[in-house]
Amino acid sequence: MPSTLAGLLSSSSIRVNPDPPSPSTPIADSISTIHAFLSKWDPHTSLSSGFLSAASHLHSYLLHLSTSSANSAHRELVRTNSLLQSAMRRLDQELKHHLLDISDAQSTADQISTVRAIVETMLSTGYGEECITTYQSIRRSAVTSQLKQLGFDISLNLSRKLFKVSWEALDHQTKLWIDASSRAVCRVFYSERQLSDTIFGASPEPIRDSVFASVVADIASTFFSFPETVSVRARNSPERLFSILDMHEKITNLIPDIEVLFGCEPTAMVLSKVTSAITNLIEAARMSLNEFEKAVRKAKPHSSPGGGILSLSRYVMNYLVCLFDYEASLHMILGSMPQEMNTSSFDIQISDDWYGSPVSVRIAWLIHVLLQKLESMAESYRDVALSYLFLVNNLQYVVKKVKNSSLKDSLGEEWVVAQEKKVRRYMEGHVRSAWANMSAALPVKEEEHVERVREFEMVFQKAMKERESWIIVDERMREEVRQLVEGMVVPAYRGWYQVYRRTMEVRFTPEFIRSRILGLYEDPDSRSGSNSSSSSVSGSGSNSSNSAKLLCRLGCYMSQEGDLSVRHQEELDEARKGELLLQYHSRDDVAQQGEVSLRLQIEDVDSSISE
């Protein structure tokens, strides 16, 4: 029992009027009433209001005797005090009995009225401490039980125990806390405040506050210490950032209700615990974001088969898409956080308005870190064309993730356009580095046509074998690249073929060359679809027109039927001047500093986004 509450009860008992009992109510009648009640007491019968009046009357008589100087007063004082103690013990049992039948302030009016009458009698007769002790014991058990029904067991969530449980168990308990928090504050603690204010309504406000604090203060402190404990354990675990943000969002949304419930001085410790929990959650979130960035930077360089989408790209982008769902919490967390980022290295010039959002800057920076890592990983490919293809697939995946999620609103159209231009530059670099040498292998001079056509056939067979596993994930880009490659190779080959097929043996027809090209870059995940769409890619239309323009940019052209020539080598060299080249370093220079230490898989949201 808090000393402050004991002091309040002591001062309140002084208010009892020590005047002698009224002559119209003989003390003998009150004593007889109490004796009769004690001898026939049954907890299942309703409490007599006469007994409560008799107890109050007996207490007044006791005070009167304590000031009397009569010789018989002492003996009468001892007898009356003993009787009053017996009455209060019985009344205490009545209080326990009726409190056990009360769930909250919405219990029946008769139940609440009876308990309130008992409480007021015990307080007025100097037995306030016993009354509060009983009330506190019963209601603390009730509150603990209600929280347990919500899924939060106080006995299992003490800080010293939480540091010993497994991560799996802690994740489960975190989910239970998040689910229970709103109901714990707005139902359990709020109802308990209503109940104590109702039952102790006749008492001064300091007593009501102290009674409420004696019931829920330490329970609420334990409840709100849970997120603080979890934040300490999880601050270096990027995969648990979302649990941290969930708890931060919950507790900050509940702040207005918490301040109303625990705004009084006796419950100040609860507010202090809530403030500490929020501070630790913010610190844990910041550290987890920093650890996430470090993990991406230290991801072990490796290639993806066929230049496909790297698991790191999927993980990071799904992580960031999920992360942006917590924009409000992130704004609070990142708002006062020093931005240790070189934003001048971004691909676009950030406007003043856009830069004003710390969440947008952080998201853009993390994507920038990923793209830097992808460019570094592209160096693991020995084939320059395949490294370009790797960058095409992964950057296109990043762009589509942004465009098909709320990240687009954060990063803006300018960012998307800049990245799409980079994707196209990578695509053009791939087409040039992969296929320009094949078109150049066709005969230029008539006297060397036999040797050159055999060389072309060997180059073509080798290319088909090496590139049969190459993939382009994005369907539109896959078709466009097929058109470009077809335009670079098939028209020139067809013109040559129609002239020389009668004078020499030619192994491949133009249709065969075309069909093999149109079968390239297929994504295994999309092979269930029909190939009929590929057969029409060389037809007329806007796509063909765009491809023709791009072929010109690539230094190639759509040759006319019967034309045997291709661009001279110097013309091809001129076309390559604008090519975006990857700068390769020695393999020893490639950083291999560890791998991503992300132990849990972020929920894959790719299925909801059209690839």
Contact 190, 256 (CB under 8 A): no
Q: What pLDDT does 340 receive? A: 61
Please list the residues that pair with 521 across neighbouring strands: 471
Residues in the chain with pLDDT < 50? 1-3, 13-24, 348-355, 527-545, 547-605, 607-611
- Ramachandran assignment for 306, one of left (phi > 0), alpha (psi -120 to 50 degrees), beta (any other): left
Contact 284, 244 (CB under 8 A): yes
| pLDDT single digits (tens) 370-393 | 999 999 999 989 899 999 999 999
- How far, in Å, are 447, 494, 496 from residue 500 at the CA level? 12, 10, 6
Q: What pLDDT does 449 receive? A: 67
CB atoms near residue 101 (< 10 Å): 11
Residue with tokens 């994740």: 171
- Helix (H) or strand (E) run with residue 271 in it: helix 268-297
Residue with tokens 């497994």: 166
What secondary structure, in 3-state letters, does 442-502 show? CCCCHHHHHHHHHHHHHHHHHHHHHHCCCECCCHHHHHHHHHHHHHHHHHHHHHHHHHHCC
Distance of CA 31 to the CA centre of its chain: 67
Contact 333, 251 (CB under 8 A): no
DSSP for 521-571?
A: B--GGGTTS-SGGGGGTTSSSHHHHHHHHHHHHTT---PPTT------HHH
Distance of CA 521 to the CA centre of its chain: 37
Rounded distance, CA 125 to CA 55, Å? 8
pTM, to two decimals = 0.77
Rounded distance, CA 329 to CA 247, Å? 10
Two tokens at 585?
A: 């370093």
Rounded distance, CA 476 to CA 480, Å? 6
Read off φ and ψ for residue 146, nearest 5 degrees.
-65, -40
Nearest to 370 by CA among 425, 423, 319, 306: 319
- How far, in Å, are 157, 229, 246 from residue 271 at the CA level? 19, 16, 20
Q: What pLDDT does 343 receive? A: 56
Read off φ and ψ for residue 125, nearest 5 degrees.
-100, 10
Distance of CA 210 to the CA centre of its chain: 37
Q: What pLDDT does 238 receive? A: 92
Q: What pLDDT does 167 receive? A: 87
The per-residue b/e assignment along 321-348, b for 16 or more CB within 10 angstroms, e otherwise, is bbbbebeebbebbbeebeeebeeeebee
Rounded distance, CA 2 to CA 361, Å? 50
